[in-house]
Every structure is written in structure tokens, then in C-alpha cells.
Structure 1
Amino acid sequence: MKKLFVVCALALFGTAFGQGDSTAVTRPADTLKPRPVAARVAGLADVAEVAFSATDSARMRDHELAARYDSLWMGELRQAAERFPEMYEEVRLAALENAPDSIPSFDTEEFKDRLERLNQKTPFNIVYSTSLESVVKTFLTRKRDLMERMLTASQFYFPMFEEALDRHDLPLEIKYLAIVESALNPKARSRVGATGLWQFMYSTGRMYDLDVSSYVDERNDPIESTEAAAQYLKRLHGIFGDWDLALAAYNSGPGNVNKAIRRSGGYTNYWNLRNFLPRETAGYVPAFFAAMYIFEYAAEHGLGFTPAERPYFETDTVWVRATLTFDQIARVTGVDKEEIAMLNPAFKLGIIPKIDGKNYVLRLPRRAIGTFVANEEAVYALAREELKKKENALPQLVEAEDRIRYRVRSGDYLGKIAERYGVGISQIKRWNGLRSNDLRIGQRLTIYPRKPVTTPKAQASGSGAEVAGNTGEGPRVHVVREGDSLWTISRKYPGISIENLREWNGIRGNNLQPGTRLKLCNCSS
């Protein structure tokens, strides 16, 4: 169970420092009684003024040097965030590029000696290969700026990773895997939908209790996803008994590693299996070793970065007792919405929901938590008042179980699909890691529909929508009216395609007779 705790947060989040549980407070925030504030009696119009006054006082008490460090590092992260999509692609592709023929001051024999030293102090099987040397050279030349930015960002994330890895008794060098996976971007998303610092696919994330809904994606939460990654890697090592193979399985799945073992004639050494693995996985472990080498020998290669005078943010968390928006929190605490978003990347829409059976926490700079708690009742009152004014302004919650898998058909385009399911084109692109509006026939899309999908799961075996969750029992028959066509009927019933109607009703052409009763399910009546 999550707790209210004061932490020195690495990478904006981090883990608690100190001995024992001295930094932990076990009471949830809603058991703390906020002191009376004028906003509670003066009306909602005074909330912002009172809150900003309280925030100003809190900031005056904040240690000036600590506040300056926080401000500088927030600027660093904001600047890095603008480049993260580019950085992510650069890291993923670096292992597949051809390195320059030669680079100044790179001594292959010295490189081999350093690899041997790394091999002696890690449980990984680090051996020299021309492919590994090629990746390192690429990092040192074409990706040099990228590596320097990673060195800067790592000062936030690595201590947090190390704490989790140590807790699970895993090699601390696994922290370098996040460089290859996400370029240290907590909101990275691959073309196939893998998400977060550790690039969890939906199904794998669910295996390790990472919630996904229209509001929340805990794969983007650095603390939750790091814990899940540590558990998953520990499990993979338990299966293969070898860290190189565990990493390969993390990238391509245990099934692909097992197939490579069979195709190789039974070898269990990664370097003997490499040619039997998927192309990306063949470059994955060398990219990991290259990242490890670069970080361990950054100074020797003259790589520069911005050193952190204090490589953490002081943050605190508080339970959320009602649905709040980042905008409402910003107005009451005085913390910029952008900073709130960076501290809380799991919340996709700038909204922290309150759902029966689920509790979420808000993370803020420590200096702002007191302001929030002191004005807690006022901010909830503000949220209730604004919700009344906007009525149904907040999007309807759609749990991950209610997603659909849609197969693109001839004539489909993003606008058409988005309209059918009551979602935005940008949402479909974000959910599926699409960089353009182009679609190909047969392509699978993950969609979290706003319009109800009434087709039962068993009906989804045909073309079009493959429903992963059912929001209710819908009509089973449609009576054809004048002007109806298969296309207009399919649009009335999200999740049902023209091909479904043809198959379920034995239709070959396009002509429909008024009065005809069309089955809307793969059923007998």
C-alpha cells in the first residue's frame, strides 16, 4: 500500500534515504486534519488568493540554495523533455548503424582491456566483438551529444534504479538498460506500444500490476515501473540462469530466446545464439554493453555533462480523495502545471481520478505539500464547483479491460475510426505510437472507446474490432429501414464491421430490403 512519505526524489521521484523507516510516515494524508483557512469560509473566489499567499510564505521558508537547485534541474529536465522523442529513436537505432571506420584516440587494444575489467566485476558475459566496438564508436561520434545528455539525466534516475535493483538483489549495472530502452524518458512510447522508462507492453505491465486506463498509465510512473522491471528481470533470470539471456528475453520475449536455443542446436550462450534472434535483439545486448562502457569510461573519452550539485528533488506525496485536475492543483499550490505533469507522468490527461477501489497519490515539491494539505478542503470544493459548471467536461473513465483491438480494413482512415469510437485522432496515434496518419490494411490498433462497445467478446473473431472488454449487452437485431446500408448500420453499432454483418447474416452483395432483420451478433437468433 502506498504511504505518505517524505523523500529525496531521484529523477524527480526517487526513493527515501536514511536509516530504517525514519523517513516514512504511515498515515495516509486524508487522516491529517488541515488547519482552518480563510478560503473555507470566504468562498471559492478567495481560494487562489489564499493559496498563493500560503505558497509565498512556504517559498520564503524554503532553503534558498535547495530551491535554486530544484529550479535549475527542472529547467534541465524541461529542455531534455523536448528532445526525448528524438533521443529515444537515436538510442534504439544506434546499435543497428554502421560506425565510422576510425575515430581519433580510439585504441582497440585498450578497449579490449577495459571490457575485460568490466567483465570481471559484473555477472554479465562481456566479451569483445566487432559489433560491440561498432556500437561504442557510434555512441562516441554520431551520438556523442546524446550520450552527454544521458549522463546529465542519469544523475536523477540511476540512484532510484540502484535502490530497487539492490532491494531485489539484482546487478546494479541493469540501470544502463533504461538508456537503451527509453533514453531515460518516463513517457517514451515505441511504435508497437511499449511504454515508459522500462518499455512495458500492455500485457506484461498488467502481469506486474501496472494499471492502465483512460486516465492513468502506471507504466509511465518511474517508481512503479522500476519495481515491475526489477521483478520481471528477476523472473527471467530465474528461467534462464544467465543475465545475457535474461536481457535478450526482456527485449524479445522468452519464447524467442527458447526458439533461438533450439535453432542453434542447444547453445545457451548469447553470443552463440545471436544470429538466431530477432534483428533488434541481436543488437540489443551489445547496445546495453556499449552504454555500460560509455558510462563507466565517460571521463576517459572526454564526455562532458552538467554535474548535479544536489542530484535530487525533495518531494512528498498525498492521497487524492476526489477527482482533481493539474490546473486546479496549480492554482492552489502555485506549482506550474508543467512541473506537476513532470512529477506525475502516470496521469495521461492532467487529471488525477478518484475511482472506487483505487487510490492515487499526488506528488509535489516538498515545499508545496504543506500548502496543499492546508487548503485541501478548499481545493476539493473548487473541483466540485467547477465540475458542476462543466457537467460532463471530464472524460468518461475507460478501464484497460474495455479496450478493443481494431484491424484496419480497406477504406479506413484515422478520422473515420476515431469518429466511430468517439475518440480523437491524436489519441489513437498516442495509444499506438503512430508518427503519421498512414494506415495499412491488416494493421492492428489499440483503442479505448468513449462510445459504448456492445459487441460481446465472442463476436470479435471476424474482421474489424476485436473486443477485449464488454461494456454491456446491446441490441441483437437491427430492422433494415429505407436508406439503410451495411455501412450506415455498422456505424450505428461500434465494434461491428461490414464484414461481421455479412458473415452473421449470409449477405453477399450490398442490397438490403427494408424490413429485413439483421443479426448483430454471431448468435442463433
Structure 2
Amino acid sequence: MIKKYLLETGFIFSIIAGSLLSIQASEIVCQIKNTEYESLKKSDSIPIFPDLVYEYKIAELNNLTPIELEYNDKVRRYIDVYTIERREHLAKIIGLAEYYFPIFEEALDKYNLPLELKYLAIVESALDPRAISSTAAVGLWQFKINTSKMFDLEVNSYIDERCDPLKSTEAACSYLQYLYRIYNNWQLALAAYNGGPGVVRNAIERSGGKTSFWEIQPFLPEQTKGYVPAFIAVNYVMSHYKDHNIEPVRPDYIFIDVDTVKTTKAVSFQRISDVIHVPLETLQFLNPSYKQDYIPKMKDGAVIVLPKEKIKPFIKNEKVIFDDKIEVKDFHDQVADAGEKNGKVKIVHEVAKGEYFHKIAIKYNCTIDDIRTWNSLPSNDLNVGQLLDIWVTPAMANRIEEEKLQPKQQRDSTDRYIYYTVQKGDTVWSIASKFNCRSISELKEENNIVDETDLKPGLKLKIFLNN
């Protein structure tokens, strides 16, 4: 009887405590919404809220989705990344969502999947359809080439359907549906989407059969460990970005502003641009699956996405657009066109130790003649620290910006490291592999290594061990 009384009392107490916590969180949220603090009234301020507020708001979001959303310090870290460290980048993502989310939502609804899965593409690619990861995963949904074959996504020298918003989203929906069927748990399905089904199965076994993401998290690869926390954080920031004084940066076109035409003939983006006066960068943005800015002749025809107001001019001028008499550029034409900027954006590159013209040209997909023309250079001499204007495609510019904004992994006092003396024949890659380092770039940055020439026998390296 006493045991029963204690259990019932404890149960009642837990209900009361939970209610009080909910009321307290609600009151804090209301206070913040109604506060007159000048820092929150200024549009350029960066509000930072107590943990309880984030927990309350994420709990509200959790009530509206079958995907479990919960708050902890790992989720908080990603919220801070998006709302503090990468505010400008998030503003662009929010704008791009107006173009891509209608596509995602239609496909997710068709497959009867949770609509919140649309946020997964932000974690995967930051809504860049031409995003390429360090492991060669491509597109909005980051498919590797072998995985893409499972879903009949065509990849050839001219076309990469991993970059096609419609077709890649269909593939992602099919894959997510399959993964959920395996685990019957959305957090595990998301982890498997990132790391692969085998990785999650192994983590479950190593954990002793646990089936909670947070319990198997220590047994997952580093990238997959942060995947679900990042997804939860994105759910929050996309729902509450206004609370953080973030204004969307909208693209020139959103979903309702475009339409499609179909063609069975080959044509270049440049030709379409010249005839109907659509900027090359607009064609690249709307048609990311055409790798060479060229639409090849296809048996079943090819789809071209255009601004709505350019559909009629395109149809009216088809004979001119598809004129077969247009000459193909040769080597001399390429040299004469060195320094072309049409459809490109400018970035600034600082010459590092060990860099030379060919290395820089290869890095930015251009030529030495391009670099010399852009910078009015009379010779091939370069100096360390010299600043060069480089014109790249918008997709490459986005990737470079992503790399700059990538948050560095946080270290704490529990991180273990050793000192290693470089031996003859060692390379950065071989050392990173030998000690299972988190990444080659981290090893190089930790030891101020610019390139392999800095790696001399006898040099002592500080190496953090991947626990």
C-alpha cells in the first residue's frame, strides 16, 4: 500500500513539475516576444535565447511531425552555427527555399512522407543543386554515382540528373521511404541516409542492440553523429528565423515564376542567352543538371526551364536558336576569348606558398590566359600573398563560400593527442590514415602545413586522435 502511495504521489508530482516547467517555458517565450529591450528591437542585432526557449519551441514543432525532434546541447550548437556564425548564408537558404520547397513538398506528399523531410536538403547541400561533397556526392540530395544508379538517375558527360531538382527529389523520397521501412524510426533512417544502412546496423550492434539514435551516436562516424542534431536545428531555424532578425535573400526567380519547354535538338546555354536575352547565370540556376551548359540531343527530348516571360520568345525564335550553321570554337577562339566573365562571379584568391599558375587555374576550372587577362599580368611571376581576381561559376562560388563558413570541430579537454615525428616517405594522407585523423585538412591546419613540401623528415606533428 505504501509503495502504491509513493508511486502515485511520484506520478502526480512529475505531472505537476512537468506542467510548471511548461508554464515557465511558455512565460519566458511570451516575455521574450513582448520584451522592449533595444537589442531585440534592432533589426541588425543577433538575439540569443535561453535553452528553455529553444526546448519549448522545438517541443512545439515536435507535436506537428512524426519525426522525433528534441533539444540538447548538440542541437544548440547547430542552432548557433546557423543563427550566429552563418546568418548571411542562412538568409540565402531561406530565399532559395521559395524555389525548391514546392518541388520537395509535392514529392513528399506523393510518397506519403513527413513534409519536414524537405529540411534534409538544407543539411545535405544548403539547397545548392550543384553541390559536390568531399566524397563525390552530388546535388541537392547528395547522391554518389553508384547510389544514383539504384534510382535510374542518368549521369553522363553532358547530364547529371543528381542535380535535377525534380528527378533527384523523387529518388530521395524513394530512398527515405526504403530506409524507414528498414528501421521504423525516422532518426535512424536519417542517420542511414547520411552514413548508409550498414553503418547504422553496425552502430546498433556495437551499442549492444540499442535502437535510439542518441544511444548509438558514439558508435557512428563523426559526420553521421552530427546529422540528426543538424536536421533538428534546421527545423527550428527555418521555422523561427524571424526571431533571430534574419531577412531572407530571395533569388531572382521562385517556383511560380518559371515554366518549361521541351526540345529534341541540341543547343548551348550561350545560344539561348544570345537569342532570347536570358542571362547565362539564370539558365545555369534554372537548369543545373546540364553539366557543360549544353543541352544534348536526346531520344525522348530534353526539358529546359525558363522564366515564364521567356517561353513565348523561345518558341517564336526556335529556328534561330537551333541553327546548325553556328561554328564551334577552336583553340584560337578560346585564346581570343580569354578572360570571359559572362555568367560568372568574382572571387579573390590569395596566392599561397607553393602555388603557381597551373595549380590555381586547375583549382578554379579556368586557364592561365584567363587569370592573366583578369588581372592584367604581364608575366607568369607570382608572389606569396598576392591577390588575384578569379571569375568562377555561381555554383563554384557557393562551394567556396560553404568551405569558408564550415564550422570547425570544437575540441574540449577530453580530446587526446600525440606528437609524431615525420619519417622519410611520409605523406599527409598516409599520416592521417595511420592515426585515423578526423580529416586531412584538420591535420594540415593544426600543424601549419600548406602542401607536401612542408612535410620534412624530423618535423614533429601534433595529432589529435579520433576517439
TM-score, normalised relative to structure 1 = 0.53
Name the count of aligned residue pairs. Answer: 308
Q: Structure 2: how far apart are the matches of 1:309 and 1:360?
A: 24
Same amino acid, percent of matched pairs: 40
Does residue 129 of structure 2 align to residue 186 of structure 1?
yes
Cα displacement (A) at 1:385: 0.9
Does residue 326 of structure 2 align to residue 386 of structure 1?
yes
Cα displacement (A) at 1:143: 2.0
Structure 2 residue aligned with 1:288 = 231
Does residue 205 of structure 2 align to residue 265 of structure 1?
no
Deviation sequence 1:89-135 (CA, Å, 0-9, x none): xxxxxxxxxxxxxx964111222222222222211222232211222
Query: What pairs up with 1:202-217 in 2 under 5 angstroms?
Result: 202-217=145-160
Q: Structure 2: how far apart are the matches of 1:249 and 1:424?
A: 41
Cα displacement (A) at 1:291: 0.7
Q: Structure 2: how far apart are the matches of 1:378 and 1:153?
A: 33
Q: Structure 2: how far apart are the matches of 1:196 and 1:424?
A: 26
Structure 1 residue aligned with 2:310 = 368
Cα displacement (A) at 1:313: 4.2
Give the alignment partner of residue 348 of structure 1, picking from 276, 283, 291: 291
What code does the residue aligned with 1:372 have? F
Structure 2 residue aligned with 1:319 = 262
Structure 1 range deviating more: 316-325 or 287-296: 316-325
Q: Structure 2: how far apart are the matches of 1:309 and 1:216?
A: 24
Query: What pairs up with 1:137-286 in 2 under 5 angstroms?
Result: 137-286=80-229
Cα displacement (A) at 1:358: 4.9
Distance 1:323 1:267, change over 3 A: same
**Contact 2:129/2:163, CA 8 A, preserved across alignment:** yes
Query: What pairs up with 1:33-182 in 2 under 5 angstroms?
Result: 105-182=48-125
What code does the residue aligned with 2:243 have? E
What code does the residue aligned with 2:70 have? V
TM-score, normalised relative to structure 2 = 0.59
**Contact 1:156/1:311, CA 8 A, preserved across alignment:** yes
Moved over 6 A (4+): 307-310, 388-391, 423-426, 439-442
Q: Structure 1: how far apart are the matches of 2:326 and 2:88?
A: 46
Q: Structure 2: how far apart are the matches of 1:134 and 1:193?
A: 27
**Contact 2:161/2:167, CA 8 A, preserved across alignment:** yes
- Find the residue that maps to 1:228 and give its secondary structure: helix
Q: Structure 1: how far apart are the matches of 2:82 and 2:284?
A: 31
Deviation sequence 1:356-401 (CA, Å, 0-9, x none): x453222222222222222323332x2x21257879x99xxxxxxx
Q: Structure 2: how far apart are the matches of 1:208 and 1:361?
A: 19
- Find the residue that maps to 1:121 and give its secondary structure: coil
Distance 1:302 1:214, change over 3 A: same
Distance 1:342 1:138, change over 3 A: closer
Q: Which runs of 5+ in 1 are unaligned?
A: 1-102, 395-414, 443-525
Q: Which runs of 5+ in 2 are unaligned?
A: 1-45, 335-357, 369-391, 404-426, 431-467
- Find the residue that maps to 2:326 and give its secondary structure: helix
Q: Structure 2: how far apart are the matches of 1:168 and 1:175?
A: 13
What code does the residue aligned with 1:385 have? K
Q: Structure 2: how far apart are the matches of 1:377 and 1:150?
A: 38
Distance 1:311 1:351, change over 3 A: closer
Q: Structure 2: how far apart are the matches of 1:303 and 1:388?
A: 47
Structure 1 residue aligned with 2:457 = none
Q: Structure 1: how far apart are the matches of 2:282 and 2:47?
A: 41
Structure 2 residue aligned with 1:505 = none
Q: Structure 1: how far apart are the matches of 2:131 and 2:257?
A: 24
Q: Which has the higher contact order (CA 8 A, sep 6+)?
A: 1
Q: Structure 1: how far apart are the matches of 2:429 and 2:81?
A: 36
Give the alignment partner of residue 245 of structure 2, picking from 295, 302, 309: 302
What code does the residue aligned with 1:386 have? I
What code does the residue aligned with 1:333 have? I
Cα displacement (A) at 1:214: 1.0
